[in-house]
Amino acid sequence: MSWWKQARAKWLSFLRRLVDLLSGILFRATYAIKGRTAMPPIKNLLLLEPATSIAAKIRSRKLTSEEVVKAFINRIEEINPVLNCVVDHRFEEALEEARAVDRMLATTKKTPEEILKETPFLGVPFSTKDAIMVEGMSFTAGLHCRKHIRGSEDAETVARLRKAGAIPLAITNTSEVCMWWESHNRVHGRTNNPYDTSRIVGGSSGGEACIQAAAGTPMGLGSDIGGSIRMPCFFNGIFGHKPTRGTISNHGEWPVASETHETYLGTGPMCKFATDLLPMVKVLAHRDLQLDRKVELRRLRIYYMEDDGGNPHVSPVDAEIKQSMRKVLDYLAQAHGLKPTKIDLPRLRRAVSIWLAKMNIVGTPDFCQQLANCEGSINLGWELMKWTVGQSNHTFIALMTALTEKMGVQPGTPGYDRLFSMCQELHDEMQALLGEEGVFFYPTHPTPAPYHNEPVLRPFNFSYTAIINVLGFPATAIPLGLSSNGLPIGLQVVGGLHQDRLTLAMAVELEKAFGGWVPPKIEV
């Protein structure tokens, strides 16, 4: 790197840190004046159980599905006025389906083991984001012109959970068109973090992560094309899994992914307990991932990076996040005799540029077309003018995303081709490194949950998750407790292609070692 480029990078890094510092002071002062809303405490211990445990008690008739569904309905009614995570529900239908489950169990001659094999989540309610179709329910993806659209059928993932006995209960909030990392739109408004209502929940599966963290449902579905499962899981202190590309169906979602984008988009489970992840993936996956194959942790190769190597446009990784990673690595060394290896992958510094280039595909709808529900295109200049006087039906960040796309590197240019080549080189390098027995620990996000609107000043901080999408690797978000100011922190663990079982096993191990999800507030 030339002296000029080095000097420019140092100046941009300084500017990035200065903006982060000043914005932090400004937003902290603003919300100190506005205050925070208290979270309703968890009073029913049933809400603290894993989905698999609830399912076991239902099929052995220690609990009825009806009382389970009622408990979570009551919890949603408590939390939603504060958090605004649920945008639609089917409470009455879910209760009737729960009663049908209870009637069947009262007369069946099947053993609990047979029921487990056929319907592992029998009678357990679940939720899903407002971009994954549930028949008859809200299907807006946070887009104003879709505000009256309802699901015409179940998405394949929803159908698979239904077939496994689970009961759809609620639809949760997203960002506009699922393309930003704060869940806020002109249809359903903004969702608040259960650990601090002045903070974001992430996006686009932010409402789903929020309802899980607040114990509103025992499990749920999210989708992830740039970190939309993992970032919300990180901000809300729960577990989530983005699967290997092409292993879980994206059918029945909006925006509809193109053939190319389909390989970046991953639909997967979000839940409070790591023990629920693998059973959910087994239900959802349509390709064999050898999930029943035993993982011997002592045989794994552990690689890690504490940051991306210094992208000047991305915030520095918080010291407490780095410290939590070191604790994990020390634990694996002491408990399993593993020797974590620190590596340097220089191409990760270009994560944002690579992701933006890979998303900009010729022949696919651009963001202005998506903001018009792919029925024509919005006039970006006119919408920006309308926004300044409060008349646009779009959020500021959605309009800025459309503008950024137009100003970014364009297909057919040498820079675009270089970024595509760089992505393939990074993929090959990481796949060779990880193989079938390697995992890579990497930050999920550089900071704990920012204040509402603060991401506008940190627009590229999603890079840590986004790069994994275009590489196609599986990645699991793992919570590691709370920071000194009471916000969730954690990391993501990445595996080689089709090695989802490794990252899922690591989530279970680290949940045992570090406690996993920390409930926001309990009162019993």
- The residues carrying an active-site annotation are 129, 204, 228
Q: In 3D, which of 292, 240, 289, 291 has the Cα closest to residue 266?
A: 240
206-213 and 65-83 helices, crossing angle to 10°: 120
Q: How far is CA 30 from CA 24, 27, 36, 189, 486, in A?
A: 10, 5, 11, 20, 19
Structure tokens at 294: 């035993």
Distance, in Å, from the CA atom of 116 to the CA atom of 56, rounded to the nearest integer, reads 8
| β partners of residue 219 | 271
Side-chain half-sphere CA neighbours of 306 within 13 A = 16
Distance, in Å, from the CA atom of 179 to the CA atom of 224, rounded to the nearest integer, reads 10
| β partners of residue 224 | 266
Pairing, β 301-304 against β 438-442: parallel
Q: In 3D, which of 396, 402, 316, 311 has the Cα closest to residue 353?
A: 311
Q: In 3D, which of 99, 2, 17, 4 has the Cα closest to residue 310?
A: 17
Q: Report the phi/psi class of residue 350: left, alpha or beta, with left for phi > 0 and alpha for psi in -120 to 50.
A: alpha
